[in-house]
Amino acid sequence: MKIYTRDGDDGSTGLYFGGRTRKNSDPIEVNGAVDEAQASLGWARSLSEPSSRLYELLVTLERDLWVLMAEVATLPANRHKLSAEKSLVTPQMVTRLEAEIDALSTEIEMPKEFVVPGENQLSAALDMARTIIRRAERGAVSYSLEDSFVVAYLNRLSDLAWTMARWAEGPQHRTARTN
């Protein structure tokens, strides 16, 4: 199988469940930013300890973004074909992010002023992921899908990336309960 198809040489790309759209259309712009966000989470994962809590969480988030991209890349007429948590973002996916934020938040001392990113490689990578996720969220707001949880998911994901970055800054930034 060849990696190239030449189908996109005309400036179009295929959509999930069929159809084509311009490569600079709103859903493709959103998915481009989400693709960058997913890659940046992968970069952060590469800096974390294999099989650690953070590593496993990042794998889950990267897989969730496949679901989100499938939903965004589906024509409104084909949305009925989407499957919850396989190609459709659900409220439960958003709630899981909130639970992760809450759990990590109990283990860190919340900053009392603006954070200057770059405490270490991992926290810097997570802060970079957060900014890319925010860009994807801004694009998703412009391309809002009816009855969709894409924007809510991206909003919580950026909050989680911020929280993970603070947690990744190390034990000196965590509360006494975790030391």
CATH (residue range 14-178)? 1.20.1200.10
Instruction: Please tell me the predicted confidence (pLDDT) of residue 119.
Output: 86
Rounded Cα distance, 179 and 176, in Å: 5
24 neighbors 12 (Cβ within 8 angstroms): no
Average pLDDT, the chain: 92
In the block, which residue shows the tokens 């952060």?
44
Q: Does the pLDDT value for residue 174 go beyond 70?
A: no
Give 135-152 pLDDT, tens digit per residue.
Answer: 999 999 988 778 899 999
Average pLDDT (93-109) is: 96
Instruction: Please tell me the predicted confidence (pLDDT) of residue 172.
Output: 62
Q: What is the DSSP letter of 111?
A: P
115 falls in which pLDDT band (50, 70, 90)? confident
What DSSP letter does each residue of 113-170 carry, written as one string?
S---S-SSHHHHHHHHHHHHHHHHHHHHHHTPPTT--HHHHHHHHHHHHHHHHHHHT-
179 falls in which pLDDT band (50, 70, 90)? very low
Q: Which residues contact 163 (CB under 8 A, 6 or more apart)?
A: 100, 101, 104, 105, 108
127 falls in which pLDDT band (50, 70, 90)? very high
Domain residue ranges in the chain: 14-178
41 falls in which pLDDT band (50, 70, 90)? very high
Would you call 73 helix, strand, or coil by DSSP?
Answer: coil
